[in-house]
Structure 1
Amino acid sequence: MAASEVSDDSLYPIAVLIDELKNEDVQLRLNSIKKLSTIALALGVERTRTELIPFLTETIYDEDEVLLALAEQLGNFTTLVGGPEYVHCLLPPLESLATVEETVVRDKAVESLRAISHQHSPADLEAHFVPLVQRLAAGDWFTSRTSACGLFSVCYPRVSAAVKADLRSHFRTLCQDDTPMVRRAAAGKLGEFANVVEVEYLKSDLIPMFVNLAQDEQDSVRLLAVEACVSIATILEQDDTEQLVMPTLRQCAGDTSWRVRYMVAEKFTELQKAVGVEITKTDLVPAFQALLKDTEAEVRAAAAHKVRDFCQNLDAYQKETIIMNSILPYVKDLVADPNQHVKSALASVIMGLSPILGKHNTVEHLLPLFLSQLKDECPEVRLNIISNLDCVNEVIGIQQLSQSLLPAIVELAEDSKWRVRLAIIEYMPLLAGQLGVNFFNEKLNSLCMTWLVDHVYAIREAATMNLKKLVEKFGADWAQSTVIPKVLEMSRDQNYLHRMTCLFCINVLAEACGTDITVNVMLPTVLNMANDNVANVRFNVAKTLQKIAPVLDQNSIQMKVKPTLEKLHSDVDVDVKYFASEAIAGIAVVG
């Protein structure tokens, strides 16, 4: 029957889709692709297989954004074509999408192909999916060959021995491809493929591929071979790892390209777990030393990040000896590294060595390093040390910690750069929790109050929020005896900005302190400030009364707050009037 003889109703969804896909508006075409599942439901599984999928396969010529949406949609189409029995119908359009020039489209197509591969029966996998992988692997354009690399591991476990051999052969060919992009894709998927290949073929087929890729002329290929090294070493016995993998890993750790050495540093703790404690002691410790003193800062920084985890994973019986003799001397050099990223990376993990090395070694060897880092010119280094102080506190105790490190913290809190002071304020609740209330009162409380009168507004604002967090940590009684008297004293300060800071503190402290303290201790000061000679202070009194109203009892609101707001409502200043009226309305709602 000719197409013209088919009823208009039966062709309607396809006809609409054709019109929309021909429209010049990319957004309209994109929207139509996103409606594919709805169209497929309207068509039914039979017509989706016989009309919609062939139409989509033939019309893949669109904008990358549209193709990306199509590749994503098709990965969820299994039920719409009739279930796993017919899932192979989705392969032709996805195969076409896996060959396009745009990388994100190809990647999405491969992702969808990987998803639907699991829905094929073993027979369908060999009949339909494997031939697709073989076609892509032998394609003329490098785009199809790169896409093929991501599909071997999902079909290999469920096919016959003969097909497996053919897949290994195809993968070997891709590892030796003339195009670097294909070899890079193969190197990136080698570890994944190694996880599904039988150990005998891993040794005979894949390890030679790994060795070749690790010696590739392109460093972008060699660095991806490092990732495969982790998977391969995890699978092999220790003797096989030493014989088949370690020569190549040693070579990668000393590669001429810093990018390859960087990848080794990034994967170092994974490699350490994969090869085991003996190979770590004989091979990885010297390699780690080399990475910690690498000529490139990026490599040193990546290795420095791994110091704590590497030390933690060492053989328990030899851990302390190896760290003290083989790792710590290099760590000491990094503390004075010329590159701030290296020092910052080390500072973020070095405190974690304390629990590993114990009290004596921490006091004798680590504390001098911490002190040096606390005085470092780079703020990030100093803050990374402060944020991890609890690790050291648990090991050496507060007394030792305060004598050694606190002077440096105080110095930092009074730094001339306001951003440094701001960062320390943010860490103060953390420090308070680590050091305890008595120590805090004695050593740090005066600092917190000093920040409230800082000449920088951002510091005063942060100091106000800091007080609230401290009250939440130490309790309302602590606030009443330690903080609130000093806050209320600011209401009489000559500088009106400090008087306003007093109000801001009351705003945040009211909720933390509760009704009793707010009504009896703080409210009288707020009411008294309604007579301030500066309009900004008076309208902030109105805002504060509105803010703290939910904490107050009804008697205080009726007898004290409302009369004060009525007085402010008749103020000569227009802003004071406005905020007083806002407060009156807001309190009425609360009431």
Structure 2
Amino acid sequence: MAATSEDDSLYPIAVLIDELRNEDVQLRLNSIKKLSTIALALGVERTRAELIPFLTDTIEDEDEVLWALAEQLGNFIPLVGGPEFASCLLPPLENLATVEETVVREKATESLRMIAVDHSPADIEKHFAPLVKRLSQGDWFTSRTSACGLYAACYPHVSVALKTELRMMFKCLCTDDTPMVRRAAASKIGEFAKAVEMEHLKGEVIPLFNSLANDEQFSQDSVRLLAVEAGITIAGLLTESDIETLLLPMFRSAASDKSWRVRFMIADKFIELQRAVGPTITKNHLVFHFSGLLKDVEAEVRASAANKIKEFCTNLPDDIQEAVIMPNILPAVKELVCDTNQHVKAALASVIMGLSPIMGKDNTIQHLLPLFLILLKDEHSDVRLNIISNLDSVNKVIGIHQLSQSLLPAIVELAEDPKWRVRLAIIEHMPLLAEQLGVEFFDEKLNSLCMSWLVDGVFAIRSAATSNLKKLVSIFGLEWAQNTVITKVLSMARDPNYLHRMTTLFAINVLAEVCPPDVISKFMVPVISNLAADAVPNVRFNVAKTMALIVPSLDAQTVEFQIKPCLSKLYDDEDMDVKYFAHEALVLCH
């Protein structure tokens, strides 16, 4: 029986009601995700009159469904008729901003802030500000925490009288008895500070901020650590003299807070703080506290501060860098090199090389090189790895001669490190060292190392070693390759270990890219052809793959009389993989 037009008009809502009552969470979630489609079907008037009230009255579901609803509503303004009707979206979002689950409230707050942008000042004052008031005065803490994130969105657009009222309500939130509300206020006071006028910032907001930064009620260090980031935001709004007067005591207090989490937070945000307060306050006050954080009793704090050393020193004005670093930072760095915690040393090792360009050649040789050597010989592989990965920055400052004399012995020792990732890091830096050392020094000190990596027990090392050869040939030239590398590589084709014979093929694959056709034909093709009769199928099908790679580089005669006969034999091989790759290579030959 055909449905009536009235039934048709009710269909989208009826279906949505049925789906939202279904026991299957996924079905309910899917129905929420297609709200925009339903709204388009209804039209703007029915969406405002039917869909939005329905959603307002049915805020009881799984958190995942409610989160999706909060997200959808943030993009609903075009579907309700545009900005002039944006206020109709406030009721369902207000309800979502009061639920128990944090992520739902946060998403609802985010959507409310998005919608606030499209409200006119009159609508902000008529609809949005009253919502903020209701949430701020809610009996349950969840609504009050959500309110904290909405003040900055509406404050700039309301009357002077309402602004005064909003500041008073925000003050109540900052002094709320519930720690969760004070935490929310501490996390949002920075953005609220950006919205208020300067006179009220200094007279009202900063005192509130300082009370949060010194929050001792119920030992809530979580409030104090959130205040650190807000303080940095506020510092960016003030002059240096105002920062020194109004905020500096709080930063000092945070740097020596009894809670390690607060000290960790300020260590983690120290570079942002440094930029916010400017060079004068940094030199006169922050240097002392940064040095203190580098010596903190908690390893997590020391590691966080150590990770900022290079950037902190780089941001210092050029004319005071040495005067600040030598007496204040360097002594702390020397202590950290011998720290008992490996994570602290690893953090230091990742940045200490970056001090060389700042401190200059003489200071690097005198003060930093001994520290590099200690870290290069550290028992923990991640510490050694971090040092190796930043060798180029030191080389640019002190030169390869000094580097080779002081650090090369330790680098050679690390080339045989038990940890394969350390050996891999050395391989990756070998082309850089080779280019700086020159061919004679390289052949004398490092060539044998490069060849030994080709027979390493770890495939990743052997693979990296073959790629390394290609880079070395590009640096030292073809003549060096023929005299030093190619002969040694090809001799591995007779090695009893089939993995080493395969490495020969892998090395040929990369060397063929930088060698001329005559070298490939004369030296490499005979070796590849001999390996085609290898007893191990893995070697034979890699022969076929190698031939496929080098065919484009060979002349027609070599392909016809050496490559194709060899591949034809492999095509008749009993191993299916060998047959397959031989066929692929033969296709290329034709």
Which one-letter code corresponds to 1:64 in the other structure?
Answer: D
Deviations along 1:209-246, one digit per CA (max 9) or x if unpaired, are: 11111111200000111111111222112222111111
Select which of 521, 524, 533 maps to 1:531: 533
**Matches of 1:156 and 1:564, distance apart in 2:** 81
For the Cα contact (< 8 Å) 1:100–1:106, is it kept in 2?
yes
* Structure 1 residues 55 and 420: alpha-carbon distance in aligned structure 2, compared to 1, 3 A threshold: same
Is 1:255 aligned with 2:257? yes
Matches within 5 A, 1:437-456: 440-456=442-458
Is 1:317 aligned with 2:319? yes
Matches within 5 A, 1:297-336: 297-336=299-338
Is 1:69 aligned with 2:68? yes
Higher mean C-alpha deviation, range 186-195 or range 155-164: 155-164
The alpha carbon displacement at 1:129 in A equals: 0.9
Residue aligning to 1:399: 401
Higher mean C-alpha deviation, range 253-262 or range 439-448: 439-448
Matches within 5 A, 1:224-303: 224-303=226-305
Select which of 500, 508, 515 maps to 1:498: 500
The alpha carbon displacement at 1:527 in A equals: 0.9
Select which of 410, 413, 434 maps to 1:411: 413
The alpha carbon displacement at 1:423 in A equals: 3.8
Which one-letter code corresponds to 1:279 in the other structure?
Answer: I
* Structure 1 residues 551 and 156: alpha-carbon distance in aligned structure 2, compared to 1, 3 A threshold: farther
* Structure 1 residues 233 and 477: alpha-carbon distance in aligned structure 2, compared to 1, 3 A threshold: farther
Residue aligning to 1:566: 568
Which one-letter code corresponds to 1:351 in the other structure?
Answer: M
**Matches of 1:398 and 1:557, distance apart in 2:** 45
Structure 1 segments unaligned to the other structure (5+ residues): none
Structure 1 length as normaliser, TM-score? 0.93
| SS of residue matched to 1:531 | coil
Is 1:7 aligned with 2:6? yes
The alpha carbon displacement at 1:35 in A equals: 0.9
For the Cα contact (< 8 Å) 2:571–2:582, is it kept in 1?
no
The alpha carbon displacement at 1:582 in A equals: 3.3
For the Cα contact (< 8 Å) 2:564–2:589, is it kept in 1?
no
Matches within 5 A, 1:417-496: 417-429=419-431, 431-432=433-434, 440-471=442-473, 479-496=481-498
* Structure 1 residues 64 and 323: alpha-carbon distance in aligned structure 2, compared to 1, 3 A threshold: same
Is 1:150 aligned with 2:152? no
| SS of residue matched to 1:235 | coil
Residue aligning to 2:339: 337
Residue aligning to 1:213: 212
* Structure 1 residues 21 and 411: alpha-carbon distance in aligned structure 2, compared to 1, 3 A threshold: same
The alpha carbon displacement at 1:6 in A equals: 7.1
The alpha carbon displacement at 1:106 in A equals: 1.0
Residue aligning to 1:129: 128
Higher mean C-alpha deviation, range 468-477 or range 350-359: 468-477
For the Cα contact (< 8 Å) 2:388–2:425, is it kept in 1?
no
Which one-letter code corresponds to 1:274 in the other structure?
Answer: A
Higher mean C-alpha deviation, range 187-196 or range 556-565: 556-565
Residue aligning to 1:139: 138
The alpha carbon displacement at 1:178 in A equals: 1.0
**Matches of 1:89 and 1:516, distance apart in 2:** 79
* Structure 1 residues 470 and 184: alpha-carbon distance in aligned structure 2, compared to 1, 3 A threshold: farther
* Structure 1 residues 503 and 450: alpha-carbon distance in aligned structure 2, compared to 1, 3 A threshold: same
Higher mean C-alpha deviation, range 109-118 or range 307-316: 307-316
**Matches of 1:253 and 1:325, distance apart in 2:** 20
Higher mean C-alpha deviation, range 462-471 or range 428-437: 428-437
How high is the sequence identity, in percent, across the aligned residues? 68
The alpha carbon displacement at 1:32 in A equals: 1.1
For the Cα contact (< 8 Å) 1:351–1:391, is it kept in 2?
yes
Which one-letter code corresponds to 2:407 in the other structure?
Answer: L
* Structure 1 residues 490 and 13: alpha-carbon distance in aligned structure 2, compared to 1, 3 A threshold: same
Residue aligning to 2:183: 184
**Matches of 2:86 and 2:477, distance apart in 1:** 64
Which one-letter code corresponds to 2:115 in the other structure?
Answer: I
* Structure 1 residues 150 and 348: alpha-carbon distance in aligned structure 2, compared to 1, 3 A threshold: same
**Matches of 1:476 and 1:172, distance apart in 2:** 76
**Matches of 1:479 and 1:44, distance apart in 2:** 75
Deviations along 1:68-113, one digit per CA (max 9) or x if unpaired, are: 1111111111111111111111111111111111111111111111
Matches within 5 A, 1:4-83: 7-83=6-82
**Matches of 1:42 and 1:555, distance apart in 2:** 72
**Matches of 2:440 and 2:65, distance apart in 1:** 64
The alpha carbon displacement at 1:444 in A equals: 2.7
Higher mean C-alpha deviation, range 34-43 or range 473-482: 473-482
* Structure 1 residues 232 and 475: alpha-carbon distance in aligned structure 2, compared to 1, 3 A threshold: farther
**Matches of 2:251 and 2:520, distance apart in 1:** 67
**Matches of 1:232 and 1:397, distance apart in 2:** 45
For the Cα contact (< 8 Å) 2:372–2:387, is it kept in 1?
yes
Structure 2 length as normaliser, TM-score? 0.94
Deviations along 1:117-157, one digit per CA (max 9) or x if unpaired, are: 11111111111111111111111111111111111112212
Higher mean C-alpha deviation, range 486-495 or range 69-78: 486-495
**Matches of 2:475 and 2:167, distance apart in 1:** 62
* Structure 1 residues 243 and 534: alpha-carbon distance in aligned structure 2, compared to 1, 3 A threshold: closer
Which one-letter code corresponds to 1:452 in the other structure?
Answer: L
Deviations along 1:241-281, one digit per CA (max 9) or x if unpaired, are: 11111112111111100000111111112111222222222
Residue aligning to 1:556: 558
Is 1:113 aligned with 2:133? no
**Matches of 1:181 and 1:436, distance apart in 2:** 64
Which one-letter code corresponds to 2:497 in the other structure?
Answer: N
The alpha carbon displacement at 1:514 in A equals: 6.1
**Matches of 1:231 and 1:371, distance apart in 2:** 40
For the Cα contact (< 8 Å) 1:546–1:584, is it kept in 2?
no
**Matches of 2:502 and 2:159, distance apart in 1:** 79
* Structure 1 residues 393 and 149: alpha-carbon distance in aligned structure 2, compared to 1, 3 A threshold: same
* Structure 1 residues 442 and 157: alpha-carbon distance in aligned structure 2, compared to 1, 3 A threshold: farther
**Matches of 1:92 and 1:481, distance apart in 2:** 81
* Structure 1 residues 96 and 442: alpha-carbon distance in aligned structure 2, compared to 1, 3 A threshold: farther
The alpha carbon displacement at 1:427 in A equals: 4.0
| SS of residue matched to 1:71 | helix
Which one-letter code corresponds to 1:33 in the other structure?
Answer: I
| SS of residue matched to 2:316 | coil
**Matches of 1:567 and 1:398, distance apart in 2:** 52
For the Cα contact (< 8 Å) 2:559–2:589, is it kept in 1?
no
